[in-house]
Amino acid sequence: MTLAAPHRIAQSEALRAYLDAALDCVILADASGRVVEFNPAAERAFGYARDQALGRTLGELIVPPSLRERHDEAFARFVETREKRLFGRRLELTGMRADGSEFPIELVLAQVDEQPALICGAVRDLSDVKRADHDLRTLADEQAALRRVATLVADGETPDVIFAAVAEEIARILMADRCAIGRFDSADSMTVVAYSSDEEAKVPVGTRIGLQGDGVTAAVRASGRPLLIGDHDAFSGPLMDYARSLGSLPRSTIAAPIFVESRVWGMIFASTMTVEIAEGTESRVVDFAELIATAIANTEARRKLERVVADQKALRRTATLVASGAPPTEVFDAITTAASELFDVPFASLLRFGPDETATMVAGCAACSGFVGQAWRVPGDDPGIVRTVVSSRRPARIEDHSGVHGPLGEAAHSLGIGSVVGVPVIVGGSVWGVLAVGARQDGPGLPVDASDRLVIYGARDDDADERRGA
C-alpha cells in the first residue's frame, strides 16, 4: 500500500522528539483518514506497533465496529468542511485496542496543515480516570449505606430489622442477585435470619440448613476471613446443594464471617449470577458484618440485663419461701416453675438421686407433672443428663436425645424433649440430685448460657435443708 506523501513537518527531528516523549497518544492522519504517524504512547495504549498502524484508516484501526460507519461519515464531513469549532475541544469517545477490547478515550483534534490536509489527534486513555470516578461514587454509596445501617444500630433497632437492612444494602451495592445472613445454631447447622433477592425462588427467614461436611462454612470458620468464590464446583456440601435447588450455581459468591465476642456467630453470603465480583470486594462486606456484630452485642447486653433482673426476681421468690419455712415440696415446685419460665420452655424438673442408683422426680412443671413421684433406675453407663451430672458433679448439656435410651431417655422421648441442661444440687458436699430444663425437639434450643443461669437454683443451703429433714 502506498502511503500519502509525508509532510515535511512530520519528518522534522523536533516533531520526532516530541512524539517519542509525549505522554499522550498522538496520531496523525491524512485526508483519507489513513495514519501517517503513530507515536510510542499510542503503541502502548492501542496495542499496535507503529509499522502495523501506518497506512491503515483510523476507523479500522482504533474505532469499535459498532461506531465505525458513523466515524467514517463524520471524518469525511470534517475534512470537507474543516469545522473549526471541533479544534481544541475535548471529546469523550470509545476507542478499541488491537485485541478488540473497548475503553474510554478523550480526543482533541488539531489541523497541522491545510494542503494537503493533515489532522492531528491527541488521545488520552480515560480508563483510570473513569475507574477512579466509579470507585469514588461506589465508596460514597457504600458509606451512605453504612451510615443508614449504623443509624439503625444506634437507635436500638431489633437485630431482625438490622439483618434485613444489611442484606438489602449489600445486595444493592454489590449488584448481588442473592444476599443471605445465617446464624450458626451449632457446628453443623445454620438458620437464615435475613434474605434479599429479586428471584422468584426465595429462602424464607427461619430456614434451617444442615452444614455437616460443608466446605464453604468450614473454610471461612477455619480462616476467620472472608472468602471470594469463583469456582463453585471446587466446594461441596449442603450450601452448594441448596444453591442448586434455587435454580443454578452463582458465578461469584462472597462469604464473610460475623464475629461476636471473638466467636463466629454467623456468616453473610452475597452471590451474583452473571457479573463477576472483583477481588478486594470482601473488605466491603466485612464492614457490614462488623455493624451486625455491634447490633448483636448491644442486644445481648440488653438481654443479659433483662435476664439478671428476671433471675433476681425468681431467686427472691424462692428465697422468701425458704426464709418463711415453707415445706420442701412447695420450694421445689417454685424452683422448677421459675426455671421453666426463665427459659420459656415447657420442661423443668428436680430429680432426687438416691443411694440405690435411682432418680426420683420430686417436682416438675406442667409438662412434667405427670412424672412427679416416679422413680427410674439409672445404670452407671447411662448417657442421659442425670448420670452425666451426678458422675461429673458439674453442669451438663445434651442437644439431642435420639441416642439416649433407658427409662429416663424413654420418658424424654415421650415428652418430645430436645436439648436439655442439667446442674447438680449439692448438699453436704454430696450430689443430692439434679435440676434440669428441656426445650421441645421441634423448637428453638436452650440458650448457650443456660447452665450458668440454672446453676444458681441448684445451690442448696445445707442448714436449711437439714432443718427440713430433706
3-state SS string for the chain: CCCCCCCCHHHCHHHHHHHHHCCCEEEEEECCCEEEEECHHHHHHHCCCHHHHCCCEHHHHHCCHHHHHHHHHHHHHHHHHCCHHHECCCEEEEEECCCCCEEEEEEEEEEEECCCCEEEEEEEECHHHHHHHHHHHHHHHHHHHHHHHHHHHHCCCCHHHHHHHHHHHHHHHCCCCEEEEEEEEECCEEEEEEEEECCCCCCCCCCEEECCCCHHHHHHHHHCCCEEECCHHHCCCHHHHHHHHCCCCCCEEEEEEEEECCEEEEEEEEEECCCCCCCCCHHHHHHHHHHHHHHHHHHHHHHHHHHHHHHHHHHHHHHHHHHCCCCHHHHHHHHHHHHHHHHCCCEEEEEEECCCCEEEEEEECHHHHHHCCCEEECCCCCCCHHHHHHHHCCCEEECCCCCCCHHHHHHHHHHCEEEEEEEEEEECCEEEEEEEEEEECCCCCCCCCHHHHHHHHHCCCHHHHHHHCC
- For 158-208, the pLDDT digits (tens) are 888 888 888 888 888 888 888 998 998 877 888 999 899 887 777 888 888
Q: Of 171-180, 373-382, 440-449, which range is least confident?
A: 440-449
Q: Is the pLDDT of residue 465 over 60?
A: no
Does the pLDDT value for residue 227 go beyond 60? yes
Report the amino acid identity of residue 406: G
For the chain, percent of residues with pLDDT exceeding 70: 84
Contacts 24+ apart (CB under 8 A), 179-182: 179/268, 179/269, 179/270, 179/271, 180/268, 180/269, 181/258, 181/266, 181/267, 181/268, 181/269, 181/292, 182/209, 182/266, 182/267, 182/269
pLDDT at residue 40, rounded to an integer: 93
Measure the CA–CA gap between 433 and 422, rounded to whole angstroms: 10
Identify the pLDDT of residue 152. Answer: 80
All 3 cell numbers of residue 150?
449504623
Q: Is the pLDDT of residue 469 over 80?
A: no
Q: What is the pLDDT of residue 97?
A: 92
**pLDDT at residue 42, rounded to an integer:** 92
Sketch out the chain's domains with CATH numbers. Answer: 9-125 (3.30.450.20), 130-301 (3.30.450.40), 325-468 (3.30.450.40)
Q: What is the CA radius of gyration of the chain?
A: 37
Confidence at residue 303, expressed as pLDDT on a 0 to 100 scale? 66
Cross-strand partners of 438:
347, 420
Question: What per-residue confidence (pLDDT) applies to 301?
Answer: 64
- When the pLDDT of each residue in the chain is averaged and rounded to a whole number, the result is 81
Instruction: Give me the pLDDT at residue 356, please.
Output: 87
Distance, in Å, from the CA atom of 18 to the CA atom of 416, rounded to the nearest integer, reads 87
Residue 247 has pLDDT above 50, yes or no: yes
Q: What is the distance in angstroms between the CA of the first residue and the CA of the last residue of the chain?
A: 114
CB atoms within 10 A of CB 149: 22
Range with the largest mean pLDDT of 8-12, 146-150, 203-207, 398-402 = 203-207
Average confidence (pLDDT) over 226-237? 87
Average of per-residue pLDDT across 362-384: 84
In this prediction the pTM is 0.49
Q: Does the bond joining 355 to the residue before it have cis omega, within 30 degrees of 0?
A: no
Question: How far is residue 464's CA from residue 470's CA, in Å, rounded to a whole number?
Answer: 9
Quick count: other Cβ atoms within 10 Å of Cβ 253? 23
Alpha-carbon distances of 320 from 291, 336, 353, rounded to whole Å = 44, 15, 26
The predicted pLDDT at position 114 comes to: 61
pLDDT value at residue 99: 92
pLDDT at 302: 66
CA atoms within 13 A on the CB side of 390: 21
The burial of 429, by beta-carbon neighbours within 10 Å (0-12 exposed, 13-18 middle, 19 or more buried), is given as exposed
Give the whole-number percent of the chain exceeding pLDDT 90: 8
Average pLDDT over residues 336-344: 83
Query: What pLDDT shows up at residue 41?
Result: 92
Q: What is the dihedral of CA 149, 151, 157, 162, to 10 degrees?
A: 0
Determine contact, residues 105/124, Cβ cutoff 8 Å.
Answer: yes
Residue 252, φ and ψ in degrees, nearest 5:
-140, 145
